[in-house]
Amino acid sequence: MLEVVYLIFNEGYTAARGDDWLRPQLCAEALRMGRTLAAIAPQEPEVHGLLALMELNGARTAARTDAAGEPILLPDQDRTLWDRLQIRRGLHALARAEELSGGGGFYVLQAAIIACHVRAATAKQTDWSRIAALYSHLLALVPSPVIELNRAVAVGMAEGPQAGLVIADRLMAEPALKNYHLLPSVRGDLLQKLGRHDEARAAFIAAAALTANRREQDMLARRAAACGS
């Protein structure tokens, strides 16, 4: 049940295909179900962990797109637009989940990662070392190349883009990520930070070709163009 609710939320949070980056009605419905589950099963830490994850992610909705509906990446978001009440609800749910579980569940760990972002007053103040460590704990619990890719981002921020690229490059041989657009997208970002602009542009172009969401395609095309010709 928790997995289904999370899938509904994720499809609303970043639509897999179509012309819209967000589908807020799906997020709202997933949150409604999550709050209901927390009321029904108040002693289940993963229920509170999932609710915390959705509340904390949902709190950033107003800052994730511009007036034209184009995506705004996390480092560029106006944090004054984040919903502080929803953040408080999410942190309260996370505290309850950690109290019940010790902080080791799948959804609890993911919520703890998002909490690092919402607790940072600015993007520069984000505790990327803690995020990387939390992803390592998550990997130990649920080995996954997608989680490892997320860890590559965190390591790249904590230790420098070359350290993140080493991890991302290893994942290029992972069959499960063959058609996963976020792998070349992450590589493009890391390569761009390293000044390897031709490789970054090629990676962003490859990522754009793999996503079915028009807004994301446009964003990746802009990032490719920003790498120069």
> Which residues of 20-175 form beta strands (DSSP E)?
none
> Which residues of 14-139 form beta strands (DSSP E)?
17-18
**In terms of Cα–Cα distance, which of 39, 30, 82 is closest to 59?**
82
**pLDDT tens by residue, 32-76:** 999 999 999 999 999 999 999 999 999 999 999 998 888 999 999
**In terms of Cα–Cα distance, which of 124, 123, 147 is closest to 136?**
147
How confident is the model at residue 120, as a pLDDT? Answer: 96
How confident is the model at residue 41, as a pLDDT? Answer: 95
How confident is the model at residue 24, as a pLDDT? Answer: 87
Backbone angles phi, psi at 167, to 5 degrees: -70, -45
How confident is the model at residue 77, as a pLDDT? Answer: 95
Helix H or strand E encompassing 212: strand 212-213
Exposure string for 148-177, b = 16+ CB within 10 A, e = fewer: bbbbbbbbbbbeebeebbebbeebeeeeeb
- Band (pLDDT 50/70/90 cuts) for residue 22 is confident
Q: Is the pLDDT of residue 203 over 90?
A: yes
